[in-house]
Chain A
Amino acid sequence: AQRVTQPEKLLSVFKGAPVELKCNYSYSGSPELFWYVQYSRQRLQLLLRHISRESIKGFTADLNKGETSFHLKKPFAQEEDSAMYYCALTTGGGNKLTFGTGTQLKVEL
């Protein structure tokens, strides 16, 4: 069965510092990877997906099949980036998401 691992429950960085939220997955095939974000008191929303290869709000994530990783990065953290971030995947072209346990990002001034 597939699995998503986010090793950090909490990541605290200073404003302007680089951010990297780690995500590793286990799946024998070719998954589709996603990052979802949940701001305080808001619903979960899609941040980016690996097939789009886009940058959203300054965040990027590259799928590394060799390391089975999909780390989320941003060169300069902003206060408004403080939120809960979930890495997730789907398999076999389906739409059932398997989520990691999430990482709380806290950007301090």
Chain B
Amino acid sequence: GAVVSQHPSRVICKSGTSVKIECRSLDFQATTMFWYRQFPKQSLMLMATSNEGSKATYEQGVEKDKFLINHASLTLSTLTVTSAHPEDSSFYICSALDSLSGNTIYFGEGSWLTVV
């Protein structure tokens, strides 16, 4: 099946710095990707919908200036956590919509972010 790859899988950064997480669809083009956040033992919470060539659509309560999303190509979306704080530490998961295979959504393996 289709593969979505996230990089890095784990990252540690210092408070106040920014960190970028990449999400790539490896064998299909994805005009739409999604970014989720998951706290331990909790559900996946949708943060934003990333649209190729246009601005991302953020869910209520998600700070767009803090979580910058760029979807510059049909196979790549990036999430940049700006001015990271320890409370931003979490598991971030992306998914990509394959519109040519019945709108199937494929998930990345997730990225662990630890802010120290």
Contacts and interface: CB of A to CB of B under 8 A. Distances in A.
**Do A and B truly interact?**
yes
Interface residues of B: mostly helix, strand, loop or mixed? strand
Given A95-B105, A96-B49, A99-B43, A43 B110 contact: yes
A96 B104 contact: no
Contacts of B108: 43
A44 interface: yes
Given A43-B108, A43-B110, A97 B46 contact: yes
Contacts of A99: 43-45
Contact of A44 (B32, B93, B103, B104): B93
Contacts of A98: 46
B97 A96 contact: no
Nearest to B110: A43
Interface residues of A, number: 16
B112 interface: no
B105 A101 contact: no
A96 B34 contact: yes
Interface of A: 9, 36, 42-46, 86, 95-102
Chain A to chain B: the 5 pairs with minimum beta-carbon distance, closest first: A44-B107, A101-B43, A43-B109, A99-B44, A99-B43
Interface of B: 1, 4, 32, 34, 41-46, 49, 93, 95, 97, 103-110
26 contacts: A9-B41, A36-B107, A43-B4, A43-B107, A43-B108, A43-B109, A43-B110, A44-B95, A44-B107, A45-B1, A46-B104, A86-B43, A86-B44, A95-B32, A95-B105, A96-B34, A96-B46, A96-B49, A97-B44, A97-B46, A97-B95, A97-B105, A99-B43, A99-B45, A100-B43, A102-B43
